[in-house]
Structure 1
Amino acid sequence: MKKKNLLFVMPSLSAGGGEKSLVNLLSQINFDQYNVDLFLFSKKGEFLTLLPREVRVIEPTRNHLIFTTSLKKSVGIFLKNRQYYLAYSRFMFTIKNRMIKNSAISEQYTWKYHGASFDILKKEYDVAIGFLEKSSIYFVVDKVKSKKKIGWIHTNYSNSGMDYKYDSPYFKQLDNIVAVSQECANSLKAQFPHLSNKIKVIFNIVSPEIIRTLSNEEIQDNCLSEKNYISIVTVARLSEEKGIDQAIKSCKILISKGYEIRWYVIGEGNERERLEQIINNNDLNNHFKLLGIKENPYPFINRADIYVQPSRYEGKSIAIDEAKILGKPIIVTNFKTAKDQIANGVNGLIVDMSEEGLSLGVEKLIKEEELKDNLIRNLAKEKLGTEEEIKKVYEMF
């Protein structure tokens, strides 16, 4: 049987939920049936080393590399090469990004300028997948020749800040739109009722066997080694929607009540400087630590007393699924998709989306040992692997 040619498109493989989801999916692909190419806008990211060796990584052409340099340098080179439209596009890309404060809408409205730096791919594919909302999907529609085109949405569209009017003509050209949870699918159907028949739910692929094996590795950092404090771990990008600022303030409340807390956050992002300032202002340097990106976060989750997801909104959090697999007592804020993963009081706690709500949830698990044990016991009974989701992917292909 002739192999099908697949193309996946992503901006990069930096540490994030969508990126991890892609690496997990690719690790389950049957390479006897599929040739897999991965187009990256930028060949960088912590997950690059985790790609299966059968995946062929494609990088952009020279024009895009020039486009990503400074405004002065890129415009200068394009003008020198008489590439006047690219020089104009690079200039407008910068102007629009400065004018539009909403980062989600900014990525949408600047695509026509950003997209000018990419060539149409010469190879024709059986299936092309834009594996992240916005630019990855726009690239698949505008720059790829393929018999079938699919877009993956990893967030709750209603809370994403995106302009549905911009996405609508792109989504019409997709054969399928994949949502990572039922709540995310419902959100898409509410925004795009005329496309409901294209929307499918495919959960993020997680492998309990791999996660449990990796969780037994040693931690090199000098943390989570002592037992004279309550350890909390959060895995999240340092961005506004992940609510790390709420976590810091809830840590302050807990310390003021006399609890000895060490709260560790694994992840990186554009809010680091602001979050460090909040930590300093609240004198929490010994209690709240931003550890940055860890290639293997599982030993940190495994050694924690409590796992907390303080997000303002999520699509379907892979980190929560991983904490469930490792049997951690879990606290999540009451974002829209929280109930897709946590049954309150059964396999975790859902608390108010505030520093007070988070601190009360942590305090409850500290005080009520029986509740904590029940959560752990119930998690042990759950079937938590989603490797079988790959069958839905094959059916769609």
Structure 2
Amino acid sequence: MTKVFFIINCFSKGGGAEALLASILHGLNPNKYELGVMEIIHDTIKQEAIPAYVKVYPYYTLADAPDRKIRMYSVYHEWNKVIEKYIPQDYDIYISFNYLKPSFLLPEGKKNIAWIHGDIYNLLDDNMLEEKQLQDIAFEKVNKIVVISDNTEKSVLDLYPRHKNKIVKLYNCINARKILKESNCKSDIRLDDNSIIFLGRLDENKNPVRAIEIFKEVIQRKADAKLYYIGYGVLKEKVELLAKTYKIEDSVFFLGYQQNPYPIVKQAKVMLMVSKSEGYSLAVSEAICLGVPVVSTRVGAADRQIFCDECGKVIDNNEEAVDAICGYMEREISIDKKKHMYSTEKKEFEEYILAIEHLIDTI
């Protein structure tokens, strides 16, 4: 049996990478692999559900720990000491489930995989020079670098061309069966008929401000349209203020973070995703799996994910977004088409797990 150890920055904040790792842990064959996982930073927002046979190791630090900055300094500048104390040495393969901190803690002399979940162009910023150099050193320790989209691959090649031969592309996938099951759970939240869902953190990258700008135009054409934000973040007050300024606050709702958003998402007529940057948006695939079309900016793997007209539309400007949203409000997607959307996502996940197992078996 092959022993595989995952290192993730945080496994308790409800993010996309956390959900993906949980799905992978559920999908990998427990008769072939002995699995362990450790998070560097522990939060209290959402603890991902994982199989009982996965061994969970103590986290390195709490999100609000008084000495967190000091402990993070050690991850960056004394990582060998941190590895010796916190990383078990008896695993066959180690997988860092993102770049920077998780990859720093990969032990030397082992079979290592660095898994990158988005582009890494932020390492070109003037204040990231040290991190860029440390990432190059960390990449020296790895056998393979997994990238999740063409753009992620390009960013790694642009910044670290000497590691070109280590790159393996594995597009993200969702566990469609699990999502469908969770979507059938009871929810007290009921959406209006012409509802638009925004699912994600209310931050600069997810761009909730642009969503309100688009909705302002939608409601001019569809007076009964409603916009629902699922998520939390620093831009909530700004979006609330804009809704009041545009006099549409009665049609905009903030549902906060939801442990299980799927019973809500599946009620929507359309999902709006206007991120400035994405690796491979799990939210897009989740909505499609539930038969909800997605109007998305042209980021990450959106062109690949939105594989049919019923699945949604990739847009380049606000006018296209408004037209697409109004179009989806005027039609119903057939049950047969929704079943096709689900079965496509389900098949992709099965193939995805097989590809991961092949990577582990052949490294």
Question: What does residue 168 of structure 1 align with?
Answer: 136
Are the counterparts in 2 of residues 235 and 265 from structure 1 also a CA contact under 8 Å?
yes
Note if 1:377 corresponds to 2:343: no
Aligned-residue sequence identity (percent) comes to 23
Q: Please, which of 123, 142, 149 is the counterpart of residue 88 of structure 2?
A: 123
Residue 156 of structure 1 corresponds to which residue in structure 2?
119
Does residue 14 of structure 2 align to residue 5 of structure 1? Answer: no
CA offset at residue 16 of structure 1? 1.2
In the alignment, which residue of structure 1 is the partner of 2:103?
A: 137
Shift of 1:326: 1.2
Query: Partner residue of 2:167?
Result: 199
Asked if 1:147 corresponds to 2:110, the answer is yes
Whole-Å separation in 2 of the counterparts to 1:248 and 1:298: 22
Is structure 2 residue 249 aligned with structure 1 residue 289? no
Q: Which residue number corresponds to residue 34 of structure 2?
A: 35
User: Could you say if the C-alpha distance between residues 334 and 376 of structure 1 is closer, same or farther in structure 2, counting changes exceeding 3 Å?
Assistant: farther
CA contact (8 A) 1:345 1:375 kept: no
The Cα of 1:45 is off from its aligned counterpart by 4.6
Structure 2: state its 5+ residue gaps. Answer: none
Q: SS of 1:241's equivalent?
A: coil
Equivalent pairs counted in the alignment come to 349
Q: Pick the aligned partner of 2:145 from 170, 174, 177.
A: 177
8 Å CA contact 1:232–1:308 kept in 2: the answer is yes
- CA shift digits 1:115-172 (9 cap, x unpaired): 59945236212111110222111222xxx35621111111133478665555222222
- Tell which deviates more after alignment, 15-24 or 282-291: 282-291
Q: Which amino acid aligns with 1:189?
A: L
The one-letter code matched in structure 1 to 2:323 is L
Is residue 2:328 matched to residue 1:328?
Answer: no
CA distance in structure 1 between the partners assigned to 2:260 and 2:71 by the alignment: 39
In structure 2, the partner of 1:220 is 188
Name the SS for the 2:105 alignment partner: helix
Q: Which letter maps to 2:276?
A: R
**TM-score (normalizing by structure 1):** 0.77
| 8 Å contact kept, 1:244–1:275 | yes
Alignment-derived partner of residue 254 in structure 1: 218
Note if contact 2:19-2:48 (Cα within 8 Å) is conserved in structure 1. no
* C-alpha displacement of 1:177: 0.6
Provide closer, same or farther for how the CA distance between residues 200 and 122 of structure 1 changes in structure 2, counting only shifts above 3 A.
closer
- Aligned-partner residue type, residue 88 of structure 2: K
- Match of 1:383, SS? helix
* RMSD, aligned α-carbons: 3.2
C-alpha distance 256-113 of structure 1, shift in aligned 2 (>3 A): farther
Larger Rg: 1
Compute the displacement of 1:364 (Å): 3.1
**2:301 & 2:286 partners in 1: Cα distance?**
16
Please list the CA deviations of residues 169-213 of structure 1 after superposition, one character each: whole Å capped at 9, or x if unmatched.
222221111112244324423433322211112232422222222
